[in-house]
Amino acid sequence: MDKGRIIQSLSGYFDVLAHQEVYRTRARGNFRNKKETPLVGDWVEFKADNQQEGYLLKILARKNSLIRPPMANIDRAIVVTACRQPDLSTNLLDRQLAALAQNEIQPMLYFSKADLLTAPEKEELERLVAYYQRFYPCFIFEGESSAEIESQFLGQVENSVIVVMGQTGAGKSTFLNTIAPELQLETAEVSKALSRGKHTTRKVTLRKIAGNLIADTPGFSSFDVLDVKKEELPLLYPDFVELQDGCKYRGCLHLKEPKCAVKQAYEAGEILASRYENYVQFQSDLAKRKPKYN
C-alpha cells in the first residue's frame, strides 16, 4: 500500500503521483457502495504492482472540494472571466466567488479579451474591476507578456494547488499557454451564433507549473445554485461582511430588514449594483430550493 495524490481523472482511470512517479489506477467497487467519488487533488491510499495496473484503496480526508470543476484540496483559484465572446457575466462570477469563499479557497480574478472592447466599454470594465479589486486580486489581460502574467499570479505563490476555472470559451487554456507555452493546450474560437466556446478541455489534469500544481478544467455555461443556508450566504461576501456590524439586527440577511447597512450602501452607490442584485437573486434561488432529507 502507498500514498499519493490524484493528478488526472479520465474515463474511470485515476493517475496518482507518488515518489515522483505516476501510477494509473482504478477505483474499486466499494467506492460506489459508499457513494464516494475520487477527485483530482485527492490524497489517496493505493496499491500498484506496476505503473499501469493499480487500484485505489481509500480517499484521505479533504480540506475542501468543488463540484464544478470537480477537484479537491485546492489552495487558490484563478477565475477567468471573458469581457467579450462570451459577454461578461457578473452573475456567474459572483456565484463562483461565493462557492470559493464557502470552501476557503483564495480567488484571483483574470479578465480576458479586454482588447475586444470599445473605449467606452473599457471604461465600464475598469469601474467594475476597481470595485472587485478592493476585495480580490484582479488582472485585466490586454496582450501582456507571459512574464508579466506569471509574476502577477504566481510570483508570490509556491507549492500550491491552483485551479483555473471559468465559463466555456473564457480563455482558460489560452491563459495557461501564455504562462507555460510548452503545454500547447488546444484552444478554439467562440461560436458567434451561441456566444459560447467549444469545450476544448475535457478532463481535469494537475500540471507542474512555476513551482505549483495548476489544473486546467472543463468550462461551463451555467453554475449550479449554491449549496449553502440563507444565513450563510451573506458571510461569503467580504464587501457585505465589512458593513454588517452597522446593521440594526444581528444575522441581517440584507433583504427586507430595516436599517440595513448593506442596503443603505447599495442605495448610495457604494456597493456595485450588479453585486447586490445578484445576491438578492441567489437568496431567491435558495428560498425556492427543495429541502434535503437524510
In angstroms, the CA 19 to CA 174 distance is 31
Answer whether residue 202 shows pLDDT above 70.
Answer: no
Q: Answer whether 197's CB lies under 8 Å from 221's CB.
A: no
| Residue 284 is labelled as binding a ligand | no
Other C-beta atoms closer than 10 Å to the C-beta of 49 total 9
pLDDT in tens, 5-15: 999 998 889 99
Taking CA atoms, 152 is separated from 114, 116, 135, 191, in Å, by 17, 22, 16, 30
83 assigned to a ligand binding site: no
Whether the CB-CB separation of 151 and 66 falls below 8 Å is answered with no
Question: Mean of the pLDDT values across residues 73-88?
Answer: 92
pLDDT at 203: 76
pLDDT band at 82 (very low <50, low <70, confident <90, very high): very high
- The whole-angstrom distance between residue 28's C-alpha and the CA centroid of its chain comes to 29
| 15 labeled binding residue | no
What is the residue extent of each domain of the chain?
2-59, 65-216, 233-288
Q: Is 114 annotated as a binding residue?
A: yes
State the Cα–Cα distance between residues 57 and 44, nearest whole angstrom. Answer: 7
CATH 3.40.50.300 for domain 65-216, yes or no, is yes
Instruction: Tell whether the model's pLDDT for residue 85 goes beyond 70.
Output: yes
User: Residues 6 or more apart from 224 whose CB is under 8 A from it?
Assistant: 67, 68
Is 98 annotated for ligand binding? no
Whether the pLDDT of residue 200 is over 90: the answer is: no
Start-to-end CA distance of the chain, whole Å, equals 34
**Is the per-residue pLDDT at 173 higher than 60?**
yes
For residue 192, the model assigns a pLDDT of: 43
pTM: 0.86
Average pLDDT on 39-66 reads 95
Residue 176 reports pLDDT greater than 50? yes
The response to whether 112 counts as a known ligand-binding position is: yes
> Bridge partners of 208?
213
Residue 199 pLDDT > 50, yes or no? Answer: no
List, in sequence order, every beta strand (DSSP E) within the chain.
2-10, 13-18, 21-27, 43-50, 53-59, 65-66, 71-72, 76-82, 106-112, 138-140, 161-165, 190-191, 196-197, 204-209, 212-216
Quote the pLDDT of residue 155: 64
Q: Which residue has the higher pLDDT, 189 or 4?
A: 4
Q: Is 244 annotated as a binding residue?
A: no
**Residue 146: predicted pLDDT:** 59
Has 174 been labeled as part of a binding site? yes
pLDDT tens-digit readout, 213-265: 998 777 765 566 578 999 999 999 999 999 999 999 999 999 999 999 999 99
Q: What confidence score (pLDDT) does residue 196 get?
A: 45
The mean per-residue pLDDT over the stretch 201-221 comes to: 79
168 is in an annotated binding site: yes
Opening angle at CA 221, ends 217 and 224, nearest 5: 90
Highest mean pLDDT out of 74-83, 166-175, 205-214:
74-83
CATH architecture of 2-59: Beta Barrel (2.40)
- Is the model's pLDDT at 181 over the cut of 80? no
Instruction: Kindly tell me the burial class for residue 74, based on how many C-beta atoms sit within 10 Å of its own C-beta (0-12, 13-18, 19 or more).
Output: buried
* 197 known member of a binding site: no
112 contacts 201 by C-beta, under 8 angstroms: no
Residue pointed to by grid coordinates 444565513: 231
Q: Which fold has domain 233-288?
A: Ribonucleotide Reductase Protein R1; domain 1 (1.10.40)
C-alpha span between 142 and 238 (Å, rounded): 28
- The arithmetic mean of pLDDT across residues 101-123, rounded, is 93
166 labeled binding residue: yes
- Which percentage of the chain shows pLDDT scores above 70? 86
The mean pLDDT of the chain is: 87
CB atoms within 10 A of CB 219: 24
Mean pLDDT along residues 18-23: 94
The predicted structure's pLDDT at residue 288: 87
Q: Which residue has the cell 481523472?
A: 9
Q: Which residues pair with 77 in a beta bridge?
A: 107, 163
| pLDDT given at position 193 | 40
Hey, which residues does 81 pair with through a beta bridge?
111
Q: Is 260 annotated as a binding residue?
A: yes
User: Does 219 show up as a binding residue in the annotation?
Assistant: no
Per-residue pLDDT, 293:
56
